[in-house]
């Protein structure tokens, strides 16, 4: 029963990526951990694979629709992917399994991963619920702020590296604010940046994780199916109408994870 729910939510993961160019990894790690019982650290690697390849299909669709800014992909992608590789290949593998142990309290690497992910979910959900993106699009800021894009890329790389999250809800607002980019082009650009970060991050993991390829490919096929649904819906429904609803869902999941891990 739990696996059936997991596959249904995987369709939803693809829908969110296709519809709003973000949100896939926010759900992927919790789905893998709580419904498919994958270890949290391994779940971040699996998330990179699933979200990366799903975003690749989405970015190919957006390429045909001419909805990608390749200059932004270059600035964000280069800075973030270097950070992803450093985190996945050097930092993450050296973090001990038990981080804090005192009296009756013990903070493990797995618990810390899920707590950090829950906090990311709470932050992302607030951004979606308040629909900040609409406020940002009216700002007239100077284009091509290279230093700011590189700094944002580093932040996105840290999120992707440590948590296996594509960072779409960080990428899209940054693209809209820094480049005054139309939302549809920001979605396509976000998908390509997520693709680069996620797949290179996964390649960096392959030499030190055990991968269940059959399971991964099954989950990927379901998620890609959802992507096509989301891309179709994007042409029919304004993404801004669905963002607050999705935000409330993510908020509830984040609260659930925090309660489960802390109490």
Give how many domains the chain has, as a whole number: 1
**Domain residues for 73?**
2-262
Express each pLDDT in 128-187 by its tens digit: 677 654 444 433 343 446 777 787 788 778 877 777 666 676 677 677 766 677 777 888
Neighbour-count burial of 125, counting CB atoms closer than 10 A to its CB (0-12 exposed, 13-18 middle, 19+ buried): buried
Res 228: pLDDT: 93
Res 132: pLDDT: 54
Calpha distance 163→95 (Å, rounded)? 13
DSSP letter (8 states) at residue 35: I
Tokens read off for 119: 């906090």
Per the CB < 8 A criterion, the answer to whether 185 and 70 are in contact is no
Backbone angles phi, psi at 107, to 5 degrees: -105, 115
Q: How many Å separate Cα 70 from the centre of its chain?
A: 20
In the chain, what percentage of residues exceed pLDDT 90?
16
Backbone angles phi, psi at 31, to 5 degrees: -60, -45
In the chain, what percentage of residues exceed pLDDT 70?
85
Express each pLDDT in 67-94 by its tens digit: 898 888 888 878 888 888 888 777 777 7
DSSP E strands, 79-191: 98-102, 105-108
- The partner residues of 108 in beta bridges, in order of sequence, read 98
- The partner residues of 106 in beta bridges, in order of sequence, read 101
Q: Which residues contact 68 (CB under 8 A, 6 or more apart)?
A: 59, 62, 185, 188, 189, 191, 192
- The partner residues of 100 in beta bridges, in order of sequence, read 107
Residue 208 has pLDDT above 90, yes or no: no
Average pLDDT, the chain: 80
Res 225: pLDDT: 96
């Amino acid at each position: 029963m739990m696996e059936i729910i997991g596959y249904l939510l995987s369709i939803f993961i693809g829908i969110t990526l296709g519809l709003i160019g973000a949100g896939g990894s926010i759900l992927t790690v919790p789905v893998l951990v709580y419904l498919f019982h994958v270890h949290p650290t391994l779940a971040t690697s699996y998330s990179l694979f699933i979200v990366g390849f799903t975003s690749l299909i989405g970015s190919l669709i957006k390429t045909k629709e001419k909805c990608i800014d390749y200059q932004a992909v270059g600035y964000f992608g280069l800075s973030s992917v270097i950070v992803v590789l450093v985190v996945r290949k050097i930092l993450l593998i050296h973090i001990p399994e038990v981080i804090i142990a005192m009296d009756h309290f013990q903070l493990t690497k797995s618990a810390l991963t899920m707590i950090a992910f829950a906090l990311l979910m709470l932050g992302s959900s607030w951004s979606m619920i308040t629909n900040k993106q609409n406020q940002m699009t009216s700002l007239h800021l100077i284009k091509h702020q290279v230093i700011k894009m590189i700094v944002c890329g580093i932040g996105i790389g840290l999120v992707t590296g440590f948590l296996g999250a594509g960072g779409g809800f960080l990428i899209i607002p940054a693209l809209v604010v820094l480049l005054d980019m139309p939302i549809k082009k920001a979605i396509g650009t976000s998908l390509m940046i997520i693709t680069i970060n996620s797949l290179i991050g996964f390649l960096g993991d392959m030499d030190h994780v055990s991968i269940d390829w059959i399971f991964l490919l099954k989950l990927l096929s379901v998620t890609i199916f959802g992507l096509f649904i989301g891309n179709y819906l994007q042409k029919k429904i304004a993404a801004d109408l669905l963002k607050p609803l999705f935000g409330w869902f993510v908020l509830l999941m984040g609260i659930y994870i925090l309660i489960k891990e802390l109490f």
